[in-house]
Structure 1
Amino acid sequence: MFVIVALFLMSGGSLIYLSLAVDEDQLAHDKSDVSLALNSRLEQIAIALDDYAFWIDSYDYTYGEVDHEWAYERDNIGASLYPTYGLNGVFIVGPAGATRYALINGELTDIKVEEWIQSDLPRLLEKAREGSLEDEVASEYTAVNGVPAVVSAAVIRPDSSYVQFETLSYLLYVDILDATKLAALADSYDLKGLRAGIGAGEDLEEPYVILASEEVGDIVVQWQKTAYGQNILIKVLPIWVLVGGLVLFLLIWLRKRINHASKVVDEVQGSLKVSEQRFKNLSEISSDWIWQSDTDQVLVYLSERFEPLTGLSTSAWIGRPLSELLQYNASTLVAIATRGAAAGRQPIECELRDGEGRVRYCQIFASEFRVGGELKGYQGTVCDITREMEAKAKIEHISQHDPLTGLANRHRLDRFLGEKLSTEVSGDHPLFVLALDLDRFKPVNDTYGHAVGDQVLREIAKAIQGCIEDRDMVARLGGDEFIVVATQCKTSQDAARLGQCLIDKINQPIQIGNHVIHVGTSIGIVAAPYHALTHDAMLRGADIALYEAKSQGRNVACIYDPSMSERIMERRQLEMDLCQAVARKELRLEFQPRFDAMTQGIIGAEALVRWHHPIRGVLSPDCFIPVAEENGVIFEISDWVLREACWNAMSWENELWVSVNLSPVEFQRHDLVQRIQRVLEETGLSAERLELEITENIVREDSEAILTTMSDLKALGVRLSMDNFGTDYSSLGYLQSYPFDGIKIDRSFLMYLDHSERHEAVVDAIIRMGHALSLNVTIGGVETTEQLERVSSLSCDQVQGFYLGPPISPASFKELVCDGVCR
């Protein structure tokens, strides 16, 4: 009897121990969920910060003084960040940490970042600088007005090659962990009473997680403890006591009657041993629902929790194989169940289809059920882990896909391309990679804002997916760069047709609200095993072919050729040299005189830039201006040309004017008028002595925005002239709509003027039309006496060309002007 009492006490102690272990395991699980929820939130903010900070427009408009009109009024880094991402604070700080721009809950404010957040700002900016080299952001936990928050920072620069941190600004996002956000996280991860606060970790009561230790105290997250083990103990312990009392009563009663009913006593003792063995086995296993089977794994018992948790009928499954209910390997269950003391501890992954037909992910725990050493069957528990599996799948999806378009991201592309290259590539089954870069996309963000730009990217993603096969992959690398991995193309012709399909699809107009947006794309194509065999070589080859496509005029697809690599290297070297050309004073101006067609007297000059390259010699604008337009150096070059041209014009006679060519790229930014006004103020040149030449194709990019800019330029007092007139079919219509003062007829019209009356009639018609619109008409490219006589007879206003005067140095032009005045 004493032995049995001791056994009951031991089983009670085991029950208490297991209950405490269940609570401890649940506490660890809850802490894992809390960390997972906060990290998911932190990752979402980091992705948003990455998109905004590592964007060339952010660099352009926040370098030095922040352009508030671009940032806030046009909502590029403005109020929409608060409702979209829940960001309570958005700051732009200078290289030394001085606040240049601040938003609190979507509203502009003068609050300084160090007054609002309780964080070591220099330390955070140092982390941001280190992460910038890998296109990463820095984040840490802090406090805002005594409330825990997350502050994230990133260096604002156009690409990772910019390491001049002493001149770069930083973008900071502050996310306060308020009750609303914590409630949303709690609902997603089944946590109760989730809250955040500041205190001392040693004074806190479990459950809690310390996020960070700052000067203000420990930043902690707490929630309501889930005491499953304690609840089980409360329910089971009274039963255990009752059973113990009954057993004790039976033992006393059986002991008095042992001589009279030894057979009955033996049966009761046998039943008691079976009951004790089952109780012990079940007590050692924590579960959602309990099962028991015979030696053939046919179910003989299911606990009461089976029906409410699965929606299935207990009676319908008793007598049926467990393997029909749960999809698992029967031999694996036997192997795990026979591991002695380790049995019942290793889970078997399986699936169950519940009463509503939904697939549930489960884990089986199993051990042998023996009586007197004889195997009677198996028993164990089944735990439903569907929520954990879905959360894991969701995190996996986020890590593999672009959050904006839903396409594969770089990580998934790398894995997919690596698998294809290692298993499926041969001469009969080539693999093609197409690199796409959108044309004319930057003005969309500049003009309509990021919200419209994001919608355009989503529409482009759909268009790309409409051209590819199911086994192909399309990925977005960031910005407006996409990669297509085509597995079904058999030849280069197939890949070229796919490239043309993508161009045609992307060229379709996109309707976003009241805006009709047109973008194009340039495509580079590379094939394995013909051009490359490795992941990096494939992407590098596609990138080289893409550069070639852009250099051919964009909106085309080019297939990689080894000769492209050398041209790309030369081009990149040219880009690097061009970035230093202004600082090294390698640029020079020449002036080509402009003459009155009747008197042939000098009335002005056109400023032409030349690059005196230390190795390649003198380069004309055609060699380097397209490169400058692509890498953004055009703005620095244009400012230099404007300033030098105006300074030189100040040394001429007051009636002489100077003409400067503007790049179409300059109209994509909204500071063109301010730049020209600043140069006029610095040099003192009167506005009417400055003529700006604009190519006619620029007015087709964005008519409304171009018209506004040109009107503002006219308000300054400068003259506007359409350059290369006649090369575009739409020129006549634009002359009536835009405030031009003159036109320069393209020199191509002079090539056949001496031999064709028809060409002469066309030139004469253009001159008459220009005069009818009160425009000054200039003909360029005059190279012979006959051409000069012919254009003079056609009553044009001004002429220019090598016959009258080639481009010359500023000093030579000044001498030419002085000589003309003296004579």
Structure 2
Amino acid sequence: MNKNVLNAASTLPLADSRGIVRRTLIAMIVMISAIFVAVIVTLFSIANTLNTQADQQNQLLLLKALHARQEAIRTHLDDNANWGEAYTNLHVHLNTNWAWDQQNLGRSLYTSFELEGVFVLDPDDVTRYSVISGKLVHTPFQSWLTVPVLPMLHQRLQQSGGKSVSQFAVVNNTLVLLAAAWIQTGSDDTIKPIPGPPSIMIFVDRLTPAKLRAMGQEYGVLNTHIHTHARQVDSDKREAGFPLSTSTGGISIEWTSSNPGGALLTWVLPSMVFLFFATLFLALALMRHAMLRARLNDESTFLLEQGRLALAASEQRFRDVAETTSDWIWETDDKLCFSWISGRFPVITGSPQQAWLGRPLTTFLLDLQPNYRLTQWASSASVGSHLALDQCLYFSPDNQPHYCNLVIKKVKKSDGRPGFRGTATDVTQEVQTQARVRYLSEHDELTGLPNRVQMRQFLDRKPLKQLAHDQQIAVLTVDLDKFKPVNDLYGHSVGDKILHDVSARMRDCIPENGLVTRYGGDEFIVILPTTQGSNEPERLSDALLSRLTQAFHLEDTDVFIGASIGIAIAPLHATDANDLLRYSDIALYQAKHDGRNCWRLYHPSMKEQIVQRRELENELRDAIHANQLQLVYQPRYDVHSGKVATIEALIRWPHPRLGLLMPDQFIPLAEDTGLIFQLSDWVLATASQDAVEHFGTLSVAVNISAIEFRVSGFVSRIHHVLATSGLSPSRLEIEISENTALSDPDRVTEIILSLKSIGVRFLIDDFGAGYASLSYLHAFPFDGIKLDKSFVIPTDTSESARRVVENIVGLGKAFSLHITAEGVETEEQLTYFESLDCDALQGYFIGRPVPLGELKQHLSMQTTSPTCPEQAD
């Protein structure tokens, strides 16, 4: 082998070996460093502990020395103060000869005990006797000491009962030990105490620097002193100390520490550093030797490793491909029994490899046709030939269907025997997606019903022109009634649930040979093959209406809808599918026009009516946009004030082709087509604007369709009209029919209360002609009722009609409602209803509906008589 190639090839393993040795070296250095750092830290910790212990011991010794000096001075003071002769010669009267000359309290206290001050103070704290530094002088104690300690001494003597007490004080940066005691007779019974407070004897011991050093040396503590900032300290000396509390403040007593920890570090630390570097050098030498041996080992094993890698490369490459591909690979013997399966097999199929080894491939595949093709091909195939099988079915362990595409090749194995190898590509998701696409192309996703595509296929399966002489096909177009308010009130999720339930009910009604499809929205189409002369379409329509009018149960309420059905039959009405669907839709339109919740069979006359109705719908839409509609106004007479108090706005449509159309001729059309909302907005805006500009303080009444209460936005529309026109809410009256609140009482009540809160009034129009009842009046917050004219007109001739009217008026009064009688056309009726205490009257006798200009003339001529000029004439 070429030497350069060998050197280049050997670079990789050598680099790896050097990396291992380098990492080992770094790890060892880090470990050795960590050990030495830990040892040094421990050494410093031990040194610090030794210093701390030494300082604590010295502190205890100094405290012991101070306590011993306190005990000594208190003992000397007790010997001198608790003495009968001292009581006689110092307290009863001052005998200087006894005290000084005879040395009972003289120089010996200074020379023997180093007491710089000896004082005797009378009960008034006046210094009677004083010896300072071994000399008899007359110096007051307070002026000599210069610090106020007498109050403290008195307090402590009171607490000790006059026995000796001691206390440290700081005077001119010098520690002073004070001891005080009451002068008492002691054990001498021959001396009688005199009444009054005792005198005080005070000993003063100044602990000068020399005394402190000597006291510390006595206990082995060097250079004891009081801390001062001005004191110079040698840099190589370590100072230690502790605070001492005195009566005049705190001080710090310090000394030169013996520093045993420093001595330890001085001797041990250099040795440790030397040992660290020596160990590090040895480790580096060992690592260098290890790297040389690693290089030799790598070079000797490289050629053998290259051969092993070359042999394993092709196998590893094959395994990598086999384990990372989305396919699973397999091998069988000449009888198509699995002898090897790749690792992707359990991942894709869910079955363990061992479960299928030794079992035939034909058992794995469940489709008979692929198995037959595979068996036939395997028996005659030559080595090297291929076979491809698409969408072969098999089942996973959880019994779920899966699909795969197989590619098979006949091979000769290394032992010379024939066999087969191949790949299997899982196409389950692709097959399921295709099935889902096919399903969605023919079914409605929400209800699961066939859609219009499958409906067309159903119709095309039996061409309408080729039906047998006694065969017919009925097409039923079913449209849900009152479904849009359900969506508006409860949301689309509830609407979807109802559509799903509707589809289930319709399936239950349709015979097996029929088809029900969702055509779109809330419209369904039923196709029913039947025989001529049979009334099956009619019976099916009745069954569908019966099921669809039953309650749909939600979680907290029941929803009721209905349906309208149009029927067209082939070949009776048409032999073309498009015509048949169109005619059933026309029949549906007729059913809706006839009141909904019913079915209608197509008749040719319906087509013309539908065309006319649609023309009228388009003309009404144009009339609204072009402002071709007009309002007329009818006055309402207030009985109590004797004047017209309210004007009712009534809409008229001057049709250019059909002449003047009354509301009952186009309002139902507007309600069916949804134009009622635009229409009522125009009426509200126009009437409100006219009232502001021409009616003075009179109120204006507007009729509102019940449909407008079933959708959201009515309250906001009223607010917008009032804000735009400037009309006061208290001048607006809204008249609604009795059946307005029946579909959704809670919603209607909420709307009424919301508008009543700003002053808008609500009246029941045509009361008594619909579903009026006591509960109706009690449940809804109406302001008044308008008695239908069908009750008013017969009162001229019928006594029973009068009794009915009287009961209705009494009923309204019982509920505190404003009563208006509509249809008053004679003076006798006016007089009669005034006698019943009605609140207002309306009718042709009061005033006919007239345009705005004519109404303004009538209002300008208004007198206390309810009769307008038109009737007066």
- What SS class does the counterpart of residue 430 from structure 1 fall into? strand
Tell me, in whole angstroms, the C-alpha distance in 2 between the residues paired with 1:457 and 1:342: 60
User: Hey, what does 1:640 align to over in structure 2?
Assistant: 682
User: Are positions 1:537 and 2:571 aligned together?
Assistant: no
Question: Which amino acid in structure 2 is aligned with residue 619 of structure 1?
Answer: L
Deviation at 1:528, TM superposition (A): 2.0
Q: How does 1:449-488 map to 2 (within 5 A)?
A: 449-487=491-529
From 846, 852, 855, the equivalent of 1:810 is 852
User: Hey, what does 1:554 align to over in structure 2?
Assistant: 596
User: Hey, what does 1:433 align to over in structure 2?
Assistant: 475
From 750, 759, 768, the equivalent of 2:801 is 759
Q: How does 1:174-189 map to 2 (within 5 A)?
A: none
Q: Indicate the larger mover: 788-797 or 528-537.
A: 788-797
Tell me, in whole angstroms, the C-alpha distance in 2 between the residues paired with 1:361 and 1:455: 35
From 761, 774, 782, the equivalent of 1:740 is 782
Question: 1:540–1:289: structure 2 CA closer, same or farther, 3 Å change rule?
Answer: farther
Question: Which amino acid in structure 2 is aligned with residue 462 of structure 1?
Answer: A
User: Hey, what does 1:500 align to over in structure 2?
Assistant: 542
From 669, 677, 702, the equivalent of 2:711 is 669
User: Are positions 1:590 and 2:625 aligned together?
Assistant: no
Question: 1:492–1:378: structure 2 CA closer, same or farther, 3 Å change rule?
Answer: farther
Question: 1:822–1:356: structure 2 CA closer, same or farther, 3 Å change rule?
Answer: closer
Question: 1:348–1:516: structure 2 CA closer, same or farther, 3 Å change rule?
Answer: closer
Tell me, in whole angstroms, the C-alpha distance in 2 between the residues paired with 1:336 and 1:425: 52
Deviation at 1:516, TM superposition (A): 2.3
Question: Which amino acid in structure 2 is aligned with residue 677 of structure 1?
Answer: H
Tell me, in whole angstroms, the C-alpha distance in 1 between the residues paired with 2:678 and 2:599: 31
- What SS class does the counterpart of residue 327 from structure 1 fall into? helix
- What SS class does the counterpart of residue 509 from structure 2 fall into? coil
Deviation at 1:440, TM superposition (A): 1.9
Tell me, in whole angstroms, the C-alpha distance in 2 between the residues paired with 1:448 and 1:723: 29
Tell me, in whole angstroms, the C-alpha distance in 2 between the residues paired with 1:384 and 1:633: 57
Q: Does the Cα contact within 8 Å between 2:365 and 2:392 map onto a contact in 1?
A: no
Deviation at 1:377, TM superposition (A): 13
From 666, 680, 685, the equivalent of 2:727 is 685
Please report the RMSD computed on the Cα atoms of aligned residues, expressed in angstroms.
Answer: 4.2
Deviation at 1:446, TM superposition (A): 2.1
From 302, 306, 326, the equivalent of 2:337 is 302
Q: Does the Cα contact within 8 Å between 1:337 and 1:367 map onto a contact in 2?
A: no
Deviation at 1:590, TM superposition (A): 0.8
User: Hey, what does 2:769 align to over in structure 1?
Assistant: 727
Q: How does 1:44-55 map to 2 (within 5 A)?
A: none
Q: Percent identity?
A: 37
Q: Does the Cα contact within 8 Å between 1:469 and 1:488 map onto a contact in 2?
A: no
Question: Which amino acid in structure 2 is aligned with residue 304 of structure 1?
Answer: S
Deviation at 1:600, TM superposition (A): 7.2
From 417, 442, 452, the equivalent of 1:410 is 452
Tell me, in whole angstroms, the C-alpha distance in 2 between the residues paired with 1:327 and 1:291: 20
User: Hey, what does 1:99 align to over in structure 2?
Assistant: none
Deviation at 1:785, TM superposition (A): 5.3
Q: Does the Cα contact within 8 Å between 1:333 and 1:348 map onto a contact in 2?
A: no
From 619, 624, 636, the equivalent of 2:661 is 619
Tell me, in whole angstroms, the C-alpha distance in 1 between the residues paired with 2:626 and 2:600: 36
Tell me, in whole angstroms, the C-alpha distance in 1 between the residues paired with 2:799 and 2:772: 24
Deviation at 1:709, TM superposition (A): 0.5
Q: Does the Cα contact within 8 Å between 1:642 and 1:660 map onto a contact in 2?
A: yes
Question: 1:791–1:356: structure 2 CA closer, same or farther, 3 Å change rule?
Answer: closer
Question: Which amino acid in structure 2 is aligned with residue 690 of structure 1?
Answer: L
Tell me, in whole angstroms, the C-alpha distance in 2 between the residues paired with 1:721 and 1:321: 82
Deviation at 1:360, TM superposition (A): 5.6
Tell me, in whole angstroms, the C-alpha distance in 2 between the residues paired with 1:236 and 1:716: 80
User: Hey, what does 2:644 align to over in structure 1?
Assistant: 602
Question: Which amino acid in structure 2 is aligned with residue 568 of structure 1?
Answer: I
Q: Indicate the larger mover: 572-581 or 696-705.
A: 572-581
Deviation at 1:630, TM superposition (A): 2.8
Question: 1:806–1:437: structure 2 CA closer, same or farther, 3 Å change rule?
Answer: same
Tell me, in whole angstroms, the C-alpha distance in 2 between the residues paired with 1:620 and 1:710: 28
Q: Does the Cα contact within 8 Å between 1:337 and 1:344 map onto a contact in 2?
A: no
Question: Which amino acid in structure 2 is aligned with residue 702 of structure 1?
Answer: D
Q: Does the Cα contact within 8 Å between 2:370 and 2:389 map onto a contact in 1?
A: no
From 621, 624, 628, the equivalent of 1:579 is 621
Deviation at 1:693, TM superposition (A): 0.4
TM-score, length-scaled by structure 2: 0.54
Tell me, in whole angstroms, the C-alpha distance in 2 between the residues paired with 1:438 and 1:502: 11
- What SS class does the counterpart of residue 672 from structure 2 fall into? helix
User: Hey, what does 1:397 align to over in structure 2?
Assistant: 439
Q: Does the Cα contact within 8 Å between 1:405 and 1:458 map onto a contact in 2?
A: yes
User: Hey, what does 1:79 align to over in structure 2?
Assistant: none
Q: Does the Cα contact within 8 Å between 2:564 and 2:598 map onto a contact in 1?
A: yes
Deviation at 1:378, TM superposition (A): 12
Question: 1:421–1:816: structure 2 CA closer, same or farther, 3 Å change rule?
Answer: farther
- What SS class does the counterpart of residue 430 from structure 2 fall into? helix
User: Hey, what does 1:778 align to over in structure 2?
Assistant: 820
TM-score, length-scaled by structure 1: 0.57
User: Hey, what does 1:234 align to over in structure 2?
Assistant: 318
Cα deviation digits, residues 217-240 of structure 1 (max 9, x gap):
xxxxxxxxxxxxx999725999xx
Tell me, in whole angstroms, the C-alpha distance in 1 between the residues paired with 2:482 and 2:321: 74
Q: Does the Cα contact within 8 Å between 2:388 and 2:405 map onto a contact in 1?
A: no
Question: 1:764–1:333: structure 2 CA closer, same or farther, 3 Å change rule?
Answer: farther
Q: Does the Cα contact within 8 Å between 1:326 and 1:351 map onto a contact in 2?
A: no
Deviation at 1:334, TM superposition (A): 7.0
- What SS class does the counterpart of residue 597 from structure 2 fall into? coil
Q: Does the Cα contact within 8 Å between 1:677 and 1:716 map onto a contact in 2?
A: no
Q: How does 1:175-214 map to 2 (within 5 A)?
A: none
Tell me, in whole angstroms, the C-alpha distance in 2 between the residues paired with 1:411 and 1:708: 45
Tell me, in whole angstroms, the C-alpha distance in 1 between the residues paired with 2:576 and 2:423: 49
Q: How does 1:684-723 map to 2 (within 5 A)?
A: 684-723=726-765
Deviation at 1:766, TM superposition (A): 0.6
Deviation at 1:451, TM superposition (A): 2.4
Q: How does 1:319-338 map to 2 (within 5 A)?
A: 326-327=368-369
Q: How does 1:122-141 map to 2 (within 5 A)?
A: none
Question: Which amino acid in structure 2 is aligned with residue 779 of structure 1?
Answer: A
Tell me, in whole angstroms, the C-alpha distance in 2 between the residues paired with 1:597 and 1:570: 46
Tell me, in whole angstroms, the C-alpha distance in 1 between the residues paired with 2:848 and 2:701: 15
Q: Does the Cα contact within 8 Å between 1:336 and 1:346 map onto a contact in 2?
A: no
Question: Which amino acid in structure 2 is aligned with residue 577 of structure 1?
Answer: E
Question: Which amino acid in structure 2 is aligned with residue 820 of structure 1?
Answer: Q
Q: Does the Cα contact within 8 Å between 2:642 and 2:864 map onto a contact in 1?
A: no
- 5+ residue gaps in structure 1? 1-229, 239-285, 294-299, 371-375
Q: Does the Cα contact within 8 Å between 2:332 and 2:419 map onto a contact in 1?
A: no
Deviation at 1:569, TM superposition (A): 1.3
Tell me, in whole angstroms, the C-alpha distance in 1 between the residues paired with 2:688 and 2:369: 83
User: Are positions 1:448 and 2:517 aligned together?
Assistant: no
- 5+ residue gaps in structure 2? 1-313, 413-417, 866-873
- What SS class does the counterpart of residue 301 from structure 1 fall into? coil
Question: Which amino acid in structure 2 is aligned with residue 740 of structure 1?
Answer: F
Q: Does the Cα contact within 8 Å between 1:477 and 1:483 map onto a contact in 2?
A: yes
Cα deviation digits, residues 360-412 of structure 1 (max 9, x gap):
65667789999xxxxx9999988764443222112222333333222233333
Deviation at 1:696, TM superposition (A): 1.0
Tell me, in whole angstroms, the C-alpha distance in 1 between the residues paired with 2:379 and 2:699: 97
Question: 1:682–1:359: structure 2 CA closer, same or farther, 3 Å change rule?
Answer: closer
Cα deviation digits, residues 677-726 of structure 1 (max 9, x gap):
33233333333322110111011121111101101111121221101111
Question: 1:773–1:352: structure 2 CA closer, same or farther, 3 Å change rule?
Answer: closer
Deviation at 1:818, TM superposition (A): 1.3
Question: 1:385–1:582: structure 2 CA closer, same or farther, 3 Å change rule?
Answer: closer
